[in-house]
Amino acid sequence: MESIFHERQEGSLCAQHCLNNLLQGEYFSPVELSSIAQQLDEEERMRMAEGGVSSEEYRTFLQQPSVNMDDSGFFSIQVISNALKVWGLELVLFNSPEYQRLGIDPINEKSFICNYKEHWFTVRKLGKQWFNLNSLLMGPELISDTYLALFLAQLQQEGYSIFVVKGDLPDCEADQLLQMIRVQQIQRPKLIGEETAQSRDQRLPRSDMDQAIDVNHPFDGTGMLDEDEENFQKALALSRQEMDMEDEEADLRRAIQLSMQGSRRSESSGSSPQNVPQLPHTSQTESLSSEELRRRRQAYFEKQQQQQQDQTQNLHNKPTLSSSTLEADPGGDMSEEDMLQAAMNMSLESVRNNLNTEEEK
């Protein structure tokens, strides 16, 4: 339907939109319609002046505003009728007794102009199909042949005045194209007000009831917007990253715990003779080992926070630490990999000490 010309509502210029949608082009502007309205006002003034410029009727007429236009952009049926005469077109009242006696089927006509209060819009046949070209709609609305009569009857019941456009309309691209093909419309175009209200509702925070409804009726995701899907993927990646960090921290804690157990066994076997009670010095060694591990864990968490604040600088300036350096300075700058490697080295050394002790026995 891209080839169909359709002007949307601007201010109160529905008469202009009605004419241009009917003729399928920008044929009339507010200035041209105002000129026609002023010409009609002048012709009416001259007729009133024939009865005497000093008469009460004439003075009252001059004080009254124009009935053919106003400041909002409204134009009367006389202005629309005179504008169509330029193209050799004529308006006939659809529900007049004269027209009804003709018994013409609406689908055999070419177009209609509908008016209710101060709003005008066009219903026109393009090719072999009918379209509602109301400027209050976001786009043309397809009307089937079987629904056309019901649509016009509904408008009449709502108080609309309907006029049949008689004469040959100017050629247009949409009419030529739709003579060869037929179009289908899956969804009816929304009113301009409905589109604005929907956009506003989407910006408002959702209530708990709306969220509960979504839980009971989950969205299948087939129509998910690209932006929503992108946000979902970002959240999923962040969640996976946090899970990986938690797994690494769990591995580190397990390695440290294993190291503590190995150190205690090694100290118990190496520093105490067989069948001799444990000396008080051994408990001090265990206490020092626990304190050392706590210091290392504290250094690790402080380093992690520092990396988050200045990650780029740490990547370029991070020193390379050896095992001896880690043993001499457990509270220094240590990365997560260094902490894990140090804990594993301590665990392996404890196991080797245990094996050596058993061999000596």
What span, in angstroms and rounded, lies between the C-alpha atoms of 26 and 7?
A: 9
For the chain, percent helix, then strand, then coil, each to nearest 5?
Answer: 60, 10, 30
Q: Which of 252, 254, 270 is nearest to 352 (CA)?
A: 270
Q: CA-CA distance, 59 to 67, in Å (whole number)?
A: 16
CATH of domain 14-194: 3.90.70.40
For residue 156, is pLDDT > 60?
yes
Catalytic, 14? Answer yes
Q: How far apart are CA 350 and CA 345, in angstroms?
A: 9
At 70 the pLDDT is 85
Catalytic residue among 20, 114, 115, 119: 119
- Dihedral sign, CA of 344, 346, 349, 354? negative
Of residues 310, 177, 345, 121, the one with CA closest to residue 302: 310
Other Cβ atoms within 10 Å of 9 Cβ, number? 17
Query: Tens of pLDDT along 38-93?
Result: 999 898 888 888 778 778 888 887 888 888 898 788 899 999 999 999 999 999 99
Does residue 134 carry a catalytic annotation?
Answer: yes
Burial 331-349 (b: 16+ CB within 10 A, else e): eeebbbebbbbbbbebbeb
Please report where in the chains the tokens 């899970």 appear, as a residue.
Answer: 243
Query: In whole angstroms, how far apart are CA 341 and each of 2, 240, 259, 299?
Result: 67, 24, 11, 15
Amino acid sitting at position 256: I
User: How confident is the model at residue 326, as a pLDDT?
Assistant: 38
Which pLDDT score, from 0 to 100, does residue 275 have? 41
Can you give the pLDDT at residue 287? 44
Q: Which of 6, 14, 18, 115 is catalytic?
A: 14
Does the model's pTM come out above 0.75? no
pLDDT score at 190: 92
Per-residue pLDDT at 315 exceeds 50:
no
pLDDT at residue 104 greater than cutoff 50: yes
DSSP 141: E
Asked if the model's pLDDT at residue 257 lies above 80, the reply is no
pLDDT tens for each residue of 170-200: 999 999 999 999 999 989 999 988 866 666 6
Say if residues 141 and 186 touch (Cβ distance below 8 Å): no
Name the token pair of 305.
Answer: 């926070």
